[in-house]
Structures are given as structure tokens and as C-alpha cells.
Structure 1
């Protein structure tokens, strides 16, 4: 028979699944208390500021407790699920105390031999961080002194005031909560904590920042509590700003007010490109692959970058340097139910046309399923946004932070066009290239856009220029 102890319970903490993310929202639990789990099994899906991610558990056991419900935003590093790794059934939250305690059995501290041996370092998943300690303290028996009282007594004696003298305590709060309080102008010393061990939570800060409510007169039949901000729900719908949409908004504002944007336009006859698309669809080498105009536009941009490599760069403000990239991670803007995301094709410059078609198809399918990983959206160098799928002629796209150029592709339409001296119906589109004018001047930007247009007008140049 296996006896379950506190040492057999593992607390799985919310990992940092991106780079420096401080919180994530629990979208869905795939397990419940009492369920058995195995190493690598997905237990929940969370949404960060970059993407929805499934979290696997790093050990075997039985789920003892889910600490948070679906829809809750949790700080990174906070335990979210408790798992009993002893193999036993889930134990009640608190074991009943014995009826009597023998008088001859004094309460003692565990001896050195009774202390549990340090456990070996648990396996760590990539990106989950490393535990700061490989051992766990055994709970001490006997009366416990509250942390704040003990700290007050010690500080009082050190300052010569005596154990009972009051000492000013620094409010307990995590770094993200302190930043939130600073942004809202809330003094943490005035906030009433509701978290465990007197820790101030995000909700406590928001409550302190909210304007005081006017007390309502008490009646015999009090009305239902009204929302903190009254508005007409029949005429308005309010959607919380969080997750991908919140991160996208912050990135776009930062980009628009940091990099001086310049946008140039060109209208192109893409009739021959559209014919090539139809030919490639029949080519056995492209069987089962996604072949569309975006594929050839992406390849044309990659060729233009090869001919004009300085466009593929970034501005390093801290180092006061222009960083020219010798690789192209090609971003493709994708509209998803969670908002706009821009995953990128790694090392797109080194891919053949069939390989680029395969990567583009995988990227789009993953984005539509909402399974794009944070890593797929990091490290982009140049982006394409296809607004033509919405019937729009073109736009003035905003740069992704850290990139120097973004190409917008408009709708391809049958229009009258002068071809070989005669007005004929031709397939025409408008391209718009936005670039960072700090490192890309008008000449370089114009050359890149002109090269893309020339390839799409005469796609045979893909062979001669590539």
C-alpha cells in the first residue's frame, strides 16, 4: 500500500512559453481531479500574448487539484495543477486530525535522519525554465509564526525598538503586479491584499484604482448588483482587450511611432503570373501542394531581396547600428479568430519553389487551427500581407517591430490595360511597399518594389534572376 505524503505531490507551474511573457490565460482544461496523467500528456491549453499553446505535464501521476478555472489569467511561475506522483488516489484537501495526542509524546522538530533526502532534478521541458532548487522542505510541526510578525520582531530588535515595536513592511507583490500598480498610479502600501500569505494580486490593484462607489440606500428588496460601468448592452458590446489582440495593438503603436514609415505603390499586369499559377497546379512536382498567386509573389520578393540585400535589415537603437540579415525569415500576415498574427517561414531564401509552397501551406493551415507556436512568430525579417483576399485594392501596412519592410498585395482584377499598343482586358493588381526610412532610402525601396513588379509581369525572370 502506498501512503501519499506532501512530498509525493508535484505542483506544475505556468511556464513562460514565449520570450519574457509574464502571464497567460487558461483556455481549456483537458483533465480533471482524479484523472491519471503521463509524462508528456497535454493537460491544458493556454493563450499568451502571442498564441494559443498546449501545455504537457512533465511527469506521471494522478491529478489532485486544478488551482484555476478556465478563463483565468495566471502569472508565469504560479502553480496551476497539483499531481500526486505516488500513484495513489487523490487525497482530501485536509486530513482529519487524531482524536487524542498522548501526553508523553512532545512535539519535536524532525531529526536530521528524518529529513527527506533531496530528490533528483526533475526533467524540464524546453522553454519551461529550470527549478531554482532540487529539494523540498518538509513542513515543520508545532505552532507557526506569521511571516510578517516574525519579520517585525527581528527588525525591531535589530533597530533597538524591541520585538513589539512596529516596523514598516514592504507590501508583498509580484513584479508584474508592481508594474501594474505603477502604471495605474496606485500606492501598494494602501492596497488591501487578498492573496495567500498577504500577497497583493492584480485584482486588488484594479480594485484600488477603481473610483469609489456611491453607497445606495438600503431597501427591503435590494436590486441586483449593477456593473461598475453602466452602458446600454442593447446598443454596445464590450470586448476585453487581451491576448493576441492586445499584443498586436502594442506592437503596432510602438512601430508606428518609432520607425518613420514610407509607402510606395505600383500597379502591375500579372496576367502571365496567373497563367503560370495554373500551369504549376498541373505540374506533378507540385502535386498536393498549395499553389496560388501568393506563392509566386513571395518568391518574387525573395529574389528582389537577393538583388537588394540591404532591404533585409533592422535598426538597433541601443547599439546605434544597422543590422543586415544574411537570411530571410519571411512573415505572412494571417487573420485568425484570436486576431492578426504574423508567423514566418524560417530561411525562406534557401527554399526551392516546391519547398516554399509546402512551407506556406503548413503555415496557413496551422494559423487557421489556432496552433501557431510563439517560436513561429519570432525572428521575422520581412513580411507580406495579402489584403487582396478581402477585395481591397491595396493599403499602407505598418511594419512589424524589428523589420525594415512589408509588402501589401491588393486584389487581382480584370481591368482594361494597354498591352502591345492595344487596350485589352488584363489581370492587374496594386502592390504597396512600406519601409523604415531610417535605413531604407527612396532609391533602395523603389528598386525592391520595381524588381517585384518586373518579375510578376514577366515570371520567367524568376529563373534568370534567382
Structure 2
């Protein structure tokens, strides 16, 4: 029986959700041991060096073990969760297998415990009892020997110790110490929890996976929801009712804190002199990439200040154009179009350096990167084949790129394969900067704030809309002449936007 059960257990390994990534951090588990899962169901969310991604599992069955806790960084190819494809029948086989292992490890000379005459003999465990999907294994299940996942189980038990009643906490602490602490708790044959009870035996609210997903989407903590379903099950109506009042839940935040021993250090206090932020995910990848780029590619940055009054007037006219209705028309749109025209006139600037083969690779396509600041850090998604797009198509692509980045849903594929990049530091009120190249690219254009300045126009000093452009490039493959021509072309187009027609 044990052999058949083990044969039905499948390991789900951390996939490479990006392009050649080597590790990912587990942000959140959506399932727990004992939960049923189906092919395609999302079981966890991970953060790579490029984006946060939800991972679906390709198996049907029951979750047997979570190999790593939330917050752990796992190498690609390492098993993170095991699933028993035997389903409910596999649970009994697993319990029986565990019991046989426990028996085989007990010394032969150890006498069997004699039941106390004054107390009725406890019934022998008969494997896992049927449990609600999404709830977990009953406490009456057999004791299993420690495995590699013990740290995860200990962390989960420690969290339950802090949130349950004193009696239940004592029992859980006893389990952690390897023995059972005698406490007064309901008999295994007592009646199930009634509706309205928010604390099930396992310390985890009772709810089915669709209800858990709804609660996650609405930002509702199931531990705060009063159940109305049979046997204390939380229903969809309960979640909607809990999400209706927009009451803040600051007092519930400690539930998601780290292990109890580390909780005090994680709490923020007024007057704190320091705040430490772990370097991981996007920030870690950005730091590594910028160091590699800064110390590998010899950077050169050139600047030009340009009168963009005519471009700003054209933008106001384009906002009224019916072909651009519903699209975002702003200076970034015409700056992007101007850079694409300049690259068409000087294609050698759209290249990369192949150190292994000692070659300069000129790209005959433009994947235009747009640097975007997000709460997770700086990301640079790109518009594929931007050079082939019309102005309305480019406006639509820019709008979608920005909205997706703000929602934190940018995929790793969208950040791979960029050839040149634009960074708009002007939105922060900054005049200009010296941007660092994204790795593998040859040029990046920084756009400063556009503001009224005194400017000599037609022989007279007048207030004009002025901005400063900065172009950084890899001097190994872009010399000063080529970089200057590209920057001058972008400036000329923004000064006289009719060149978008004559030069294109």
C-alpha cells in the first residue's frame, strides 16, 4: 500500500517563469496541506527578478507538503510542493504508511503503553478523516515522522499558537515539542462547530477555494469573517458582507507577521532611527544589472536643450483627433515617435555588443523600452516591434504598458529583449540626468521636465516651452559622431514636429 501511495505523489518544481532566471521568492501560498487542487489551479505567487507571477499546478490531487515557507528564495528546478494524485483514497494509504514507519522505528524491547483503567481506551487512528476542501487535515490524523518540510509545518503551527485560545495554543505547543500536552478540549466525537463559529479546530477558517480566491481579490481576511454556512463554513455572501464597510484593519496586520520570535523587530515604531528593507526581487535584480552595465559598458552622455513649443501645440491638436479618441496623447508619445524616426535614419545606434563572438549586432527591429517606477522597484517593459506601429497603435501600446506596470501585472516576457529605452525623469520635476544603460542595450534617452523659460525666438526673447534631453550610449559601439546625430535628430523633430512627416 505504501509503495502505491508514494508512486502517486508528484513534485511540482519551481519553473523558470522568465527568461533564464535562476531563482524566485515565494510571496504567498494559496493552498495548505490537505487541500484539494485541480490542474491549472493557482497554488502560489512568486516574485522573480523581473515580476510577480502566479503559478498554476499541473496536477489533480491533494496537497501533501509545502517544501518552503512564504518569503523563502528557491532555486529554479527545486521542488516546492508535493501533491498526492491518489486524492481522498491516498490519504488513508499515506496515514497507514506513516503508521507502519513509526512502528518499524520503535525499538522491539520497548513495552507497549498500558491504558489507564480509569479512562476509556482511546480509539486507534484510522488514517485521515474526510475534511473540507481548503480546511486541512483533522487533528485526529496519525502522527507522521518529521520530513524536510518540518520547518514549514513548525512555522505554521507557531502562527496558530499565537492566534488561538490558550488551551488550543498549549496543545499545539506540545506538538512542536514532540509530545502531547493534556488540555481540556472537545472530544473527537463531539458535535461539529456551529454556524457563526470563526475558529475551527485546525485554527484555519473553513472556506472553499473559490471563496478564498474571492476574499483575496476583495482584500478580506477570512479570520475576521463570521461564517453563516453549515458547520461554520464561510460563504461568498459572508465575504461580500465583510468587504462592504471600508473599515481599516490595522489591528489584523500582526497575523501576517513573521515568526513570534522575530515579530517585535518587524514592528515599526514612531521615532525609529532606521528602517531596513531586504534587497530582493526587482530591486536586487536592478542593482545587479546597473552594476554590471556601469562597469562593463563605457558610458557617454550628451545633452541638448530644445524649444518644444510647437510639439506641445501639436499634442493639444491631436487630443481632438477622432482617430486618437480614447488614447493617451502626451509628450512621451511624440518623443517616442521622434526617437524611432532618428533610429531609422541611423540604424547603427540600435545594436548590442557580443563579447563572446567579438561582434557588434545591429538590430533591424526596435523593442522600445519605457522605464517605469513601481512600488516593487524600477522595471523596463518594452513595446515589441515599435518601429512598425502607427501613431495610434503606438499610443495604445504605451497606454497599455503604463497601466499594466502600475497594476503590478507586467510579465517577464514584456521586460525581455529591449533594444533602446526612454526614461521620463521630467514627471518628477527634474531637468535632466545621466541614465545608465539597461544591460544589452546601446542607448537610453532621458527626458527632462517641460517648462516655460525665456528663449530667443525669431530675434526676440519670449517665454517658450523648453526641455533638456540626455542620451547615454555604449561608447564601444556608438562613437561620439553617431550618438550626437541621433540626439540632434530627436531634438530637431521635437522643435519642428513636421519632420515626423518629411523624415519618415
Cα distance, 1:225 vs structure 2:
9.8
1:427–1:311 CA distance, 2 compared to 1 (3 A): same
SS in 2 for 1:463: helix
Find 1:256's aligned residue among 294, 298, 311: 294
Equivalent residue, structure 1, for 2:393: 355
Cα distance, 1:444 vs structure 2:
0.8
Give the conservation status (yes or no) of the 8 Å contact 1:4–1:88. Answer: no
In 2, Cα distance between equivalents of 1:371 and 1:382:
22
Find 2:100's aligned residue among 77, 97, 102: 97
Equivalent residue, structure 1, for 2:437: 399
1:7–1:389 CA distance, 2 compared to 1 (3 A): same
Equivalent residue, structure 1, for 2:456: 418
1:264–1:98 CA distance, 2 compared to 1 (3 A): closer
Give the conservation status (yes or no) of the 8 Å contact 2:352–2:362. Answer: yes
Per the normalisation by structure 1, the TM-score is 0.69
Find 1:368's aligned residue among 400, 406, 416: 406
SS in 1 for 2:26: strand
Task: Tell which deviates more after alignment, 404-413 or 59-68.
Answer: 59-68
Which runs of at least 4 in structure 1 moved beyond 6 Å after TM superposition? Answer: 98-101, 224-228
In 2, Cα distance between equivalents of 1:90 and 1:299:
61
Q: Can you list the C-alpha shifts for 1:139-183, whole angstroms capped at 9, x where unaligned?
A: xxxxxxxxxxxxxxxxxxxxxxxxxxxxxxxxxxxxxxxxxxxxx
Equivalent residue, structure 2, for 1:314: 352
Equivalent residue, structure 1, for 2:305: 267
Equivalent residue, structure 2, for 1:6: 6
In proportion to residue count, which structure has more helix? 2
Equivalent residue, structure 2, for 1:328: 366
Unaligned runs of 5+ in 2: 105-145, 150-260
Unaligned runs of 5+ in 1: 102-193, 198-223
Equivalent residue, structure 2, for 1:384: 422
SS in 1 for 2:88: coil
Find 1:297's aligned residue among 310, 335, 338: 335
In 1, Cα distance between equivalents of 2:328 and 2:262:
54
Give the conservation status (yes or no) of the 8 Å contact 2:352–2:360. Answer: yes
1:302–1:361 CA distance, 2 compared to 1 (3 A): same
Find 1:235's aligned residue among 273, 276, 280: 273
Equivalent residue, structure 2, for 1:449: 487
1:90–1:74 CA distance, 2 compared to 1 (3 A): farther
Cα distance, 1:9 vs structure 2:
2.3
CA RMSD of aligned residues (A): 2.8
Give the conservation status (yes or no) of the 8 Å contact 1:24–1:47. Answer: yes
Equivalent residue, structure 2, for 1:431: 469
Cα distance, 1:382 vs structure 2:
0.4
1:294–1:98 CA distance, 2 compared to 1 (3 A): closer
SS in 1 for 2:456: strand
Task: Tell which deviates more after alignment, 53-62 or 450-459.
Answer: 53-62
1:225–1:82 CA distance, 2 compared to 1 (3 A): closer
In 1, Cα distance between equivalents of 2:50 and 2:323:
35
SS in 2 for 1:91: helix
Q: Can you list the C-alpha shifts for 1:38-63, whole angstroms capped at 9, x where unaligned?
A: 32222211011222111111133333
Equivalent residue, structure 1, for 2:499: 461
Give the conservation status (yes or no) of the 8 Å contact 2:19–2:416. Answer: no
In 2, Cα distance between equivalents of 1:66 and 1:77:
15
1:195–1:307 CA distance, 2 compared to 1 (3 A): farther
Equivalent residue, structure 2, for 1:40: 40
SS in 1 for 2:489: helix
Task: Tell which deviates more after alignment, 360-369 or 326-335.
Answer: 360-369
Cα distance, 1:4 vs structure 2:
7.8
Map 1:166-185 → 2, pairs under 5 A: none
In 2, Cα distance between equivalents of 1:315 and 1:265:
24
Give the conservation status (yes or no) of the 8 Å contact 1:64–1:90. Answer: no
Q: Can you list the C-alpha shifts for 1:228-270, whole angstroms capped at 9, x where unaligned?
A: 9xxx993222222111111111111111111111111011111
Give the conservation status (yes or no) of the 8 Å contact 2:5–2:90. Answer: no
